[in-house]
């Protein structure tokens, strides 16, 4: 079983594998394997994370990769996890939904704006709740299927890349026109 943490490693994001995250990851990986997709930002923090991950069974850090490869990795994971403590709307969550992969996300405003608990994904507030929800997702194929179907439909209805492209183009045209006034 693979869980994918899509992360930029920064101390304030919550995606980083801090001491608490490693204990949380190890507790969960006793029965499941995890992967972390990471982009290194803070060199001191990165060294701390790498040292902790080396001691955590079943946790791997993999570097930046092309989008096509990342999508292949995401599709081969049981779920995508977003554990940020502060974030706007997460593109990683929307991509996972679009790729038909269940999402487990920390219950913060940015994540809760796109993940409706038990409808388009699962929201957790602490490591214990995460473990409980992840185990529930593993043991309940009907819930997994419902979340995947609803998540994909949500993205199609509200975050279509074509609609977003057209909206940005209209905004740019409007802004370009307003500078000529």
Average pLDDT over residues 112-134: 92
Question: Does 89 have pLDDT greater than 70?
Answer: yes
At residue 63, the 3 state secondary structure works out as coil
> Where is average pLDDT lowest: 23-32, 75-84, 115-124?
23-32
Across the chain, mean pLDDT equals 76
pLDDT digits (tens, 9 = 90+) for 166-179: 888 998 999 988 65
Question: Does 15 have pLDDT greater than 70?
Answer: no
pLDDT digits (tens, 9 = 90+) for 129-159: 888 998 899 899 999 999 999 999 999 998 8
| pLDDT reported for residue 91 | 84
| pLDDT reported for residue 71 | 84
Question: Does 34 have pLDDT greater than 50?
Answer: no
Question: Does 5 have pLDDT greater than 70?
Answer: no
Report all structural domains of the chain as residue ranges with CATH numbers, in order of start: 2-179 (3.40.50.2000)
The number of CA neighbours under 13 Å toward the Cβ of 167 is: 7
Average pLDDT over residues 115-128: 94
Query: Crossing angle of helices 127-139/19-29, nearest 10°?
Result: 30
**Greater confidence, 15 or 54?**
54
pLDDT digits (tens, 9 = 90+) for 46-73: 777 778 777 776 667 776 777 888 788 8
Q: How confident is the model at residue 101 (pLDDT cuts 50, 70, 90)?
A: very high
The number of CA neighbours under 13 Å toward the Cβ of 97 is: 30
58: left (phi over 0), alpha (psi -120 to 50) or beta: left
Strand partners, 156: none
Q: What are phi and psi of 56, to 5 degrees?
A: -100, 115
């Amino acid at each position: 079983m693979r869980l994918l943490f899509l992360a930029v490693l920064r101390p304030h994001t919550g995606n980083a594998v801090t001491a608490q995250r490693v204990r949380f990851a190890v507790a969960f990986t006793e029965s499941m394997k995890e992967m972390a997709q990471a982009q290194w930002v803070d060199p001191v923090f990165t060294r701390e994370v790498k040292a902790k991950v080396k001691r955590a069974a079943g946790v791997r850090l993999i570097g930046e990769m092309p989008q096509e490869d990342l999508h292949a990795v995401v599709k081969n994971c049981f779920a995508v996890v977003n554990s940020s403590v502060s974030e706007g709307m997460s593109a990683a969550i929307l991509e996972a939904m679009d790729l038909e992969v269940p999402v487990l996300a920390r219950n913060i405003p940015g994540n809760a704006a796109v993940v409706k608990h038990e409808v388009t994904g699962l929201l957790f507030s602490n490591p214990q709740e995460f473990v409980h929800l992840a185990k529930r997702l593993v043991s309940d194929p009907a819930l997994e299927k419902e979340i995947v179907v609803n998540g994909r439909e949500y993205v199609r209805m509200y975050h279509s890349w074509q609609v977003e492209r057209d909206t940005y183009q209209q905004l740019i045209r409007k802004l370009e026109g307003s500078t000529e006034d």
